[in-house]
Structure 1
Amino acid sequence: MEADVQTETKTQEKRGRKASKELRQMQLIEATIDSLAKRGYAETTLADVADGAGLSRGIVNFHFESKDKLLVATLQHMADEYANHWTAQLEAAGDDPARQLWALVAADFDRRICTRRKLAAWCAFWGEAKSRPTYQALCGARDERYQQTFVSLCVTLKADGGYGFDAEGMALSLCAMMEGLWLRLMLGDGLTRETAYAAAVEFVVAAFPRHFTHAGVLENGRS
């Protein structure tokens, strides 16, 4: 009986240490996102991250060892968050391709994903040449899956609606349009998340008039 108690105590202590480690790592990743948004990729230092997290610089070195490893972990976290988000929204939309496309467009402007600090951090990774091999290694396959999801939906909606566009070209245009709106939001020229989403809706309604109105997805001719 005593041995069982000791074993359970050790297990709980181990879980506690793991939770504490994960908490510290997440604090540092969030501080890295803040620093990337404020200073950019090249100017972000481990000292900046430590100060932003309210932790010692030794803690940063203990968990990540180097700036490169910290940036890789940050990119991994952001990529996981984004992929999990749009995948969940796609699944929640059910089997209807029109609802799936509408959900994917809305997902990009969700307040959990579309914040100025996160957009600025993404742009820091996209704009830094040194990060490109790492970005491709972590995100290349995910980006391809995302693009192919749009292509598949455009193929289906084209056949259903009798549209004359090229499906791959339309999918590329959709993704480029949303990336452009993200960039405009990051630049802070007065565009808001709400107006950016409204602009995306305008594009979708114009491209797929037999499937969408500004109110949403058409069902048997009615939204």
Structure 2
Amino acid sequence: MTEVAEKRPRKERKENADRRRRQLLDAARRSILKNGLARTTLATVATEAGLSQGVAVFYFKSKGGLLTAVLQDLYESYEVHWAGALDAAGPDPKKRLWALVDADFSVEASGPDVLPLWFAFWGELRFTEDYAVIAEAFDDRRSDAVAAVWRGLMPEADALEAAQMAEWMDTLTDGYWLRLHVSPDTFDREAARLATRQCLERLLPDLA
């Protein structure tokens, strides 16, 4: 009984810390959407979260630490989303391919509260090593997963060709994400999803 009683407060403290950290990460996202990366500070995030600046400093130490954590969280959320779509699609490679396309043009991956965050951080990859390291690690796993799908679709192709198809697919998606970001009033996610499907079907007619 004593041991359980001693452990419970530590568990509660961890749960409270996790909630507070999540609160600050979500507030940082909102601050970036409102103010951009450059004008987002520990103070703007604390205000957005309804907390003191000292709390933000306690959890993230600096603006750089906080923004790096936001990018890590953004990529983790995206990976959970597309990996979950693959798992739900089952083993059929065609279903897995369309699951990836659908996931990329869902509101969770490319909605109006997410796309501006991607492009804000991507604009800084060349100048912030921590951002570049995070992006490279996640992008490598994504590329491997997409290439595996294409290997299933083209069993006669070699690994290089499958990797090239994966690169073309993600480049296509990135292009449509950019168009959605800069022209949200004249282009929508459903149009982008359908256009992506049509393009991939032309690359590999067996998909149709």
Spell out, residue by residue over 1:72-124, the C-alpha distance to the aligned partner (whole angstroms, 9 max, x if none). Answer: 11111111111122112112222221111111111112222222121111111
2: distance between equivalents of 1:191 and 1:39? 24
Match of 2:79 among 83, 87, 106: 83
2: distance between equivalents of 1:20 and 1:186? 35
Asked if 1:117 is matched to 2:113, the reply is: yes
2: distance between equivalents of 1:24 and 1:148? 34
1: distance between equivalents of 2:128 and 2:192? 27
Spell out, residue by residue over 1:163-192, the C-alpha distance to the aligned partner (whole angstroms, 9 max, x if none). Answer: xxx544332221111111112222224322
**Pairwise mapping of residues 1-40 of structure 1 onto structure 2 (< 5 A)?**
4=1, 6-40=2-36
Structure 1: give runs of 5+ residues left out of the alignment: 213-223
* TM-score when normalising by structure 2: 0.88
**Matched residue count:** 204
AA at the equivalent of 1:21:
A
Question: Which residue number corresponds to residue 201 of structure 2?
Answer: 205
Indicate the larger mover: 115-124 or 134-143. Answer: 134-143
Cα distance, 1:142 vs structure 2: 2.1
Structure 2: give runs of 5+ residues left out of the alignment: none
AA at the equivalent of 1:173:
W
Moved over 3 A (4+): 129-132, 166-169
Contact 2:108 2:114 in 1 (8 A): no
**Pairwise mapping of residues 185-196 of structure 1 onto structure 2 (< 5 A)?**
185-187=180-182, 188-196=184-192
Question: Which residue number corresponds to residue 126 of structure 1?
Answer: 122
CA 1:206–1:81: 2 relative to 1, 3 Å: same
SS in 1 for 2:30: helix
Question: Which residue number corresponds to residue 216 of structure 1?
Answer: none
1: distance between equivalents of 2:151 and 2:125? 34
Match of 1:56 among 44, 52, 58: 52
* TM-score when normalising by structure 1: 0.82
CA RMSD after TM alignment: 2.1
Over the matched positions of the two proteins, sequence identity in percent amounts to 36
Indicate the larger mover: 119-128 or 169-178. Answer: 169-178
